[in-house]
Chains A and B, each alone.
Chain A
């Protein structure tokens, strides 16, 4: 009997009137867990009953604790007939099972009914007494923490990243059971809600077991999905990344001790492969200095105080980094990754080493999209696999085997793709399905990458990773140290010199003479040592340390393909045949749009293909950026097939001009002004003449036309040949993408490169649109146009609605498309609008371009916002956090004068920003848009009697200007709502609007009851909407998830701890202003 669950029903309020005669309600409550049910007394004649019940105690297995939700049903007592149900509350008690999450659930929960929606609220108290169970054959996995966040959570550090975990659970869908013919829709929906809740619990428990087996204690980047297969069943599946996380406790010294394993283990992992490696490199004295990470690693981790000790901070950071850096020259060894010709064998070696670390893993996949510095060595590119399956061919639909095999197949394919790219791992990995009748498309995608193997070994990932994460949430006094850590990690990892973190990940992992696909390679524009591709596509977030020029922007490729209606195998074949073409076209579109914006890399790429009865939809979203390490993209050239025709030529040249103008405009818009460097690199497959031509064609315009013709024979992705109407369409669609209104930026990743000064003003929103295609016989072009317009209009609508937040950036702008019925297209988006401070931004931009200044920049971090890390990391090479290090850094990097200049510039920039910040932080409610002052006010009024806790929601893993102090547990909720009075509820829009609002309300209530004040990494993973207007009916299923957290405002934070840095902060500010 390893656990005791206790629940107390306190009171209700705003209950609906259940007795028309008295306009009152005689309410009582049933509390159910597993098969045990308790009841409260009836509280007669009240809409605000005060039950104040005893503690109901359930003695249960911890297995049940994980699987089952606590079910609370509110009923109206009726003497003569059956009691009427008012509604239900399901409480997931999983957060109470981990010692580090919530300890009690207490608060007002909306009482939810699948037909009536929210009907009043109930106040409940829940506690769990857990007895330790050390049985190694146990079936439960209590205490394993789950995070939706796809990076190492903010107040943890990753001691170890174990790798991929997946699980899949199948059950019969209650909606398709025989009993469904006789029971009410309400009963059926409730059965479904309950079942899915149970299945998610079971799934989480099973994944937890796998994590424990691997020796981990947490799952990060947990992604759970439902497949409503219909007749063949209901599948709940999840993937995630198993990690060993250590909690960082501010001010406590127990950090390194929390995991006694860490230090010894890291010593132990001086693996043979490492021993071999050292002599090899030391023989090569010409190589820049570098350090094999593992031995070094142990030094600072065992000797240095914990990262979180504000008072000791300065001394600590310098000591630890000093240790590292002073060691650096002593060791005098070559780096793992190196220059030119040597690169081949060395790379192979590194790969071997990495492989040994990864080979015991079946799938070296990581669902993370954001990594500790040094984790990512190189990125190969996007790998994806799709497979079309027939659900009616499943032999044993009730068993998971068949689906397991399907996914296994796909994952193997992904793995082999990654291998082909010379990579041994896949990061930013995700899986999805789309189902239409009996056809199911399984998709998986990720980014092939080379990882630093040390992160996968015991104790290797001590401070570096988690600290870097922290720098994103810049608490006063801590940030300095994080910078130091970042610095340290990059140097001890040994890639400091050969591949600076700002560009190292761009370098190709594959063999240049044996490339898996045709690509144009040049020497890295940043370090000029290694080869980089001309464009880079990835599914991950932009690494914080990446060097970026200008700002980024959302890029979408949209595609619609008609398909004949068919059944079974014929249908599946037709779909399989269409898929590669769709992928190719989406890719082409992305490439063209990227060029049009004068950018050279895509991050957060997400390609969704959705299948309907008579069409396929493809939507690719990504954030385009200009990576400084990659070559400048060429312009787009149009070539005609019939050059003799004069008017045709003219048409082409006007089009060309429009394109060139757009490119020029975009360069201004996104502030992309790469240094006009002259190419002198040898060994590039492209002739020099041509490359410089590409350069010019972007900067100048029409007068280049004659020269352009010389080269358009080349099959660059950016030469568009107008030989058929398709191409014309392509160009048209390229140009019809409406520009964003002034003051707006957008991206689908965590943060926007180039924007630093977020205010605390943010607004999370969900928008859903369904379009009906009225004319049945549409061509592909017609459909494409409609689909493009639909997405564009939705974006325009968002910009308009959020105009009060200007200047702002729409982050995590991910669209989900579906074809719910024939002729219907559904687009859903959940994103967050975050406003930033224009003034500071401008100053920062300016300072960035200037170059002068003083030192002590470690301090201004304390005043910086979350965007800070992105900004500072843009100039990555070595952002020193204190004088000693900065000296060390640049002395050790002898051939990096450009970097040194940047460093200077950066200092100036940060100082300037610091100063501006002080002024504005002293008066927060300054002339800023109302949004900001509004949000400030709302929270300010929180303690003084506002009865409802304000809960912020965001799809991102952080909240700007705040620090997450605690993760309370995962929120994973599934709701069904239906109506038989659609018109009365305001039609489909009214129905869905209130349902989404209700879902938000329930998420907020659960978070508040856990003691939290925000949900991060929130996502709406499923929104299945069905309607039958003729019957006046509609039904909708929504699945949402996220991490409940407690955050503190940066300003509060500043006030509480006795920080030495405070005084210094102000002086820095003063200095900066001069």
Chain B
């Protein structure tokens, strides 16, 4: 005897959150049944593995039927096929769009193309995330990217409205879209120590300070939050004077050193490295007009600034102190005329470096 057909349909669709997670994680039905058995779901119920299998199948089918709707979450609210209580809808969407940080770290900054998708099996092998789950996450990134690409207005808000995501998740997606659009390099070995949240934070800084939308000029331009503002990048070239003008460089150094003296144990290293570090930061700024250099933004920050400091054993406090005085001292330089650009640049750099400065 074999079960040929076995369905269970309810009027108010109930979904077991645990099974939903297993499905999202790409477990096969059999694996999911195993996990559930081990989880002790049968305890207290006089049920067999068969029952569990049937239940898991039913739920998996429901999820599959819902998946189409989850691709455009707004539809989920006014579709008629499934009667799902609103707070359950929220849960379904939020979980569906949630992603593994190990996975996102692998594709962050990569072009969301077919080619990348083809390599997902490698990513899957490397991260331990099932291929099915990798594909879902990748498709989610791509879907969000495609939708917001054509939209005007603020990025995070667009994502939140079109995908009904929580603020936190919408911000993460904004970061992913931003990275994918600018193709920031994140995969180099030196960057491995950085988490997705580090990058997401930096992306947030860049979006709110360096893009067209950052000016508070809500003309609802396309890509206003995705592309860095061209004019600003052009202006950044002017900062080069800080390192090309010898007087200015010395003056800057002495101002910073005066302010730092006696306040940190790493003072000697700071003093010795000042010119190198300053050159590093200003050069990064000057090169940002070149799209290819933009991609190396994070690797440059690490190589040119974070690594030297780390080898000199600066503490996080040292870093904060140094960057604060480094930024502020430039205002006192009377021949330096680019205060606004400098602040806009250093504000982001400072918070990014502080976020990235950890082991």
Contacts and interface: CB of A to CB of B under 8 A. Distances in A.
A578 interface: no
Interface in A728-784: 738-739, 741-742, 763-774
Nearest to A738: B46
B177 to A, nearest CB: 22
B82 interface: yes
A989 B86 CA distance: 27
A764 B10 contact: yes
Interface stretch (A17-25, A502-510, A647-655, A793-801): A793-801
Contacts of B88: 934
Interface in A928-953: 931, 934-935, 937-938, 941, 946-948, 950-953
Given A763-B14, A796-B51, A801 B5 contact: no
B8 A770 contact: no
A1001 B80 contact: yes
A280 interface: no
Q: Is the interface of B mostly helix, strand, loop or mixed?
A: mixed
B1 interface: yes
Contacts of A121: 80
Given A13-B78, A110-B80, A799 B45 contact: yes
A797 B57 CA distance: 12
A97 B9 CA distance: 33
A988 to B, nearest CB: 4
Interface centre among B44, B51, B81, B87 (most CB of A within 10 A): B81
Contacts of B50: 793
23 contacts: A14-B79, A108-B80, A118-B80, A741-B47, A763-B10, A764-B10, A765-B8, A765-B9, A765-B11, A766-B9, A772-B1, A797-B54, A799-B47, A935-B85, A938-B85, A946-B77, A989-B57, A992-B5, A993-B61, A993-B62, A1000-B9, A1004-B11, A1005-B80
Contacts of A798: 8
A826 B5 CA distance: 9
B7 A767 contact: yes
Nearest to A740: B46
A771 B44 CA distance: 28
B83 A1004 contact: yes
A1054 interface: no
Contacts of A13: 78
A118 B81 CA distance: 8
B148 to A, nearest CB: 19
Given A769-B3, A800-B47, A989-B61, A997 B82 contact: yes
Interface of B: 1-12, 14, 44-48, 50-52, 54-55, 57-58, 61-62, 64-65, 75, 77-83, 85-88
A786 interface: yes
A799 B54 CA distance: 12
A986 B78 contact: no
A1021 interface: no
B10 A950 contact: no
Interface in A945-999: 946-948, 950-953, 986, 988-990, 992-994, 996-998
A997 B85 CA distance: 16
A368 to B, nearest CB: 26
Contact of B8 (A771, A801, A986): A801
A107 to B, nearest CB: 10
Contacts of B77: 946-948
A804 B61 contact: no
B19 to A, nearest CB: 11
Contact of A996 (B2, B7, B44, B54): B7
A772 B54 CA distance: 16
Contacts of B6: 768-770, 989
Given A990-B61, A1001-B81, A765 B55 contact: no
Contacts, number: 154
Contacts of A790: 1
B6 to A, nearest CB: 5
A433 B85 CA distance: 39
Contacts of A938: 12, 85-86
B24 to A, nearest CB: 18
A772 B5 CA distance: 9
B45 A800 contact: yes
A803 interface: yes
A998 B8 contact: no
B167 to A, nearest CB: 20
Contacts of A937: 85-87
A986 B5 contact: no
Interface of A: 13-14, 108, 110, 118, 121, 738-739, 741-742, 763-774, 786, 790, 793, 796-801, 803-804, 824, 826, 931, 934-935, 937-938, 941, 946-948, 950-953, 986, 988-990, 992-994, 996-998, 1000-1001, 1004-1005, 1025
Interface centre among A767, A803, A826, A989 (most CB of B within 10 A): A989
Contacts of A992: 5, 7
Contacts of A14: 75, 79
Nearest to A14: B75
B7 A989 contact: yes
Given A769-B3, A938-B86, 20 more contacts: A14-B79, A118-B80, A739-B46, A741-B47, A763-B12, A765-B10, A797-B55, A800-B45, A800-B55, A801-B58, A826-B5, A946-B86, A948-B83, A950-B85, A953-B11, A988-B4, A993-B58, A998-B81, A1000-B83, A1004-B11
A804 to B, nearest CB: 7
A931 B5 CA distance: 28
A786 B54 CA distance: 18
A295 B78 CA distance: 58
B83 A769 contact: no
Given A741-B46, A763-B10, A947 B5 contact: no
A800 B53 CA distance: 11
A1001 B73 CA distance: 18
A492 to B, nearest CB: 42
A110 B78 CA distance: 11
B4 A803 contact: no
Contact of A997 (B44, B45, B81): B81
A426 B47 CA distance: 41
A972 to B, nearest CB: 18
A986 B6 CA distance: 12
B42 to A, nearest CB: 8
A934 B11 CA distance: 14
Contact of A796 (B2, B46, B75, B82): B46
Nearest to A990: B61
A989 B8 CA distance: 9
A723 to B, nearest CB: 30
Contacts of B10: 763-765
A989 B45 CA distance: 25
Contacts of A934: 85, 87-88
A950 B77 CA distance: 12
Given A799-B47, A800-B51, A937-B86, A767 B8 contact: yes
A994 B81 CA distance: 9
Contacts of B11: 763-765, 951-953, 1000, 1004
A937 B62 CA distance: 22
Given A108-B80, A950-B83, A797 B45 contact: no
Contacts of B80: 108, 110, 118, 121, 948, 1001, 1004-1005
A790 B75 CA distance: 39
Contacts of B14: 763, 804, 931
A945 B304 CA distance: 54
A669 to B, nearest CB: 13
A780 B57 CA distance: 31
A106 to B, nearest CB: 15
Given A118-B80, A986-B61, A993-B65, A768 B47 contact: no
A786 B52 CA distance: 20
A552 B86 CA distance: 36
B83 A793 contact: no
B326 to A, nearest CB: 51
Nearest to B48: A796
